[in-house]
Amino acid sequence: MRRRIAVSETASPVGSVFKAEGVTKVYGTGRAAVHALRGVSLDIPEGDLVVLLGPSGSGKSTFLNIVGGLDRATEGRVLFRDTDLTALSDARLTDYRRRHVGFVFQFYNLIPSLTAEENVELVTEIAEDPMTPAEALDLVGLAKRRTHFPAELSGGEQQRVAIARAVAKRPTVLFCDEPTGALDSQTGVEVLKVLRDVNQTLGASVLLITHAAATAAMADQVIRFSDGQVASVEHNETKVDPSQISW
């Protein structure tokens, strides 16, 4: 239903889903300028579950927004497979998000006037090969709450609906900005489990920002941000099951 665009469809042989090269982001100008990112270069392998850590204000969200196509870098390049995201027009960036990207935010961001199912449908309607909203809700264990409005769901349930909504389109990448930030540890673990399942069963790459350092244990790769730069990149040889994480 939508015109196809030249964002490559298949995983590149190199195996990275994103390549960031010297990405900087400056908010504002002159004396008021804030350097949120100062030359970030990264390589994120296809299908990995990546956890981004770092102190508040270190640029994690900014980075996520740029690779997620919500925002533009001031300088540098971001490659999604073979496509240079920094060179895309607004319309193509929209298309990129529409076809490849799922988002989960700290504050669920459900539309209050739509039921759980309708919130998911919002995305499946414009996706190309989505699962049904029921399937997606089943995936997060909320099949029974389909017709409930956000105000009738707990925080954790709302977040799971948000995840269902993000994964229903079978995204290539799933971006999660502090998805457990507003949840208690136990509920948070439930959410993490869902994310792990999505990563493993759907094969989607997951980029997960969190303040709970313990979460790093479930990742393939852990990237630490500090003052707008990448402080370190670690690869976990063995991953821990979310149920063993607590904070």
Partner 1 sequence: MSHILSPLDIKLLRDLWRIRGQAAAIMFVIAAGLALYVMSDGMLGSLKETRRAYYERQQFADAFAPVKRAPNYLLEDIQNLPGVARAEGRVVGGAIIDLPDVSQPITSQVLSAPEHGRASLNLLHIVTGRTVDITRADEIVLLEPFARAHGLNPGDSILVTLHGAQRRLDIVGLALSPEFVYAINPGDFAPDDSRVSVFWMGREAIGKAFDLDGAFNQVILEFAKDASEPAILDALDRILAPYGATGAYGRDEQISNKYLMEEMDQLSKMAVILPPIFLAVAVFLLNIVLTRMIQTEREQIGLLKAFGYSNVEVGWHYAKFVLAISLGGAALGCLGGMALGRMIAGVYQQFYKFPFLIFAAHASTFVISIAVTSAAALLGVTFAVRQAATLSPAVAMRPPAPPDYSKTAKVFRAIERYVDQPSRIVLRGLVRRPVRAAVTCLGIGAAMALAVMMRFNQDAIEYMMDVNFDVMDRSDVSVTFIEPQSDAVILELKRIDGVYAVEPQRNTPVMMRHGLAEHLGSITGTLPEPTLNRAVDTDLRSIYVRSDGVILSEPLMEKLQLAPGDLVTFEVREGRRPTIDLPVAGVANTMIGLPAYFEIGALNRALGDGPLVSSAYMQIDANKRDEIYRKLKDMPTIAGVAMQKESRDAFQKMIDEGPGTFRYIFTLFSVLIAVGVVYNSARIALAERRRDLASLRVLGFTRGEAAFILLGELAVLTVLALPIGGSLGYLMSSYIAKAFSTELYQIPVVLSWNSYGIATITVLVSAAVSGLLVQRDVNKLDLVRALKTRE
Ligand X SMILES: Nc1ncnc2c1ncn2[C@@H]1O[C@H](COP(=O)(O)OP(=O)(O)OP(=O)(O)O)[C@@H](O)[C@H]1O
Residues within the interface to partner 1 (CB under 8 A): 65, 68, 70-71, 90-91, 94-99, 101-103, 105, 107, 109, 111-114, 118-119, 121-123, 125-127, 132-134, 150-151, 165-166, 169
| Token pair recorded at residue 183 | 């949840």
H or E segment and range at residue 205: strand 205-209
Shortest distance (Å) from residue 108 CB to partner 1: 9
Shortest distance (Å) from residue 129 CB to ligand X: 32
> Which does residue 242 bind out of partner 1, Mg ion, ligand X, none, counting CB within 5 to 8 angstroms by kind?
none
Question: Of 22 and 57, which has the nearer Cβ to ligand X?
Answer: 57
Shortest distance (Å) from residue 163 CB to ligand X: 19
- In one-letter notation, the amino acid at residue 114 is L
Q: Find the binding residues for Mg ion in span 47-76 (CB under 5 A).
A: 61
> Which does residue 56 bind out of Mg ion, ligand X, partner 1, none, counting CB within 5 to 8 angstroms by kind?
ligand X
Taking alpha carbons only, the member of 168, 146, 158, 172 closest to residue 12 is 172
Q: Which residues of 154-189 are buried (b: 16+ CB within 10 A; e: fewer)?
A: eebbbbbbbbbbbbbbbbbbbbbbbbbbbbeeebbb
For ligand X, the binding residues (CB under 6 A) are 27-28, 34, 36, 54, 56-62
115 in contact with Mg ion (CB under 5 A) = no
> Which does residue 113 bind out of ligand X, partner 1, Mg ion, none, counting CB within 5 to 8 angstroms by kind?
partner 1
Q: What distance in Å separates the CA atoms of residue 40 and residue 62, rounded to the nearest whole number?
A: 11
Question: Of 38 and 146, which has the nearer Cβ to Mg ion?
Answer: 38
Question: Of 123 and 218, which has the nearer Cβ to partner 1?
Answer: 123
210 in contact with Mg ion (CB under 5 A) = no
Q: What distance in Å separates the CA atoms of residue 75 and residue 87, rounded to the nearest whole number?
A: 11
DSSP 13-81: TT-EEEEEEEEEEEES-GGG-EEEEEEEEEEEETT-EEEEE--TTSSHHHHHHHHTTSS--SEEEEEET
- In one-letter notation, the amino acid at residue 212 is A
Per CB under 5 A, residues contacting Mg ion are 61
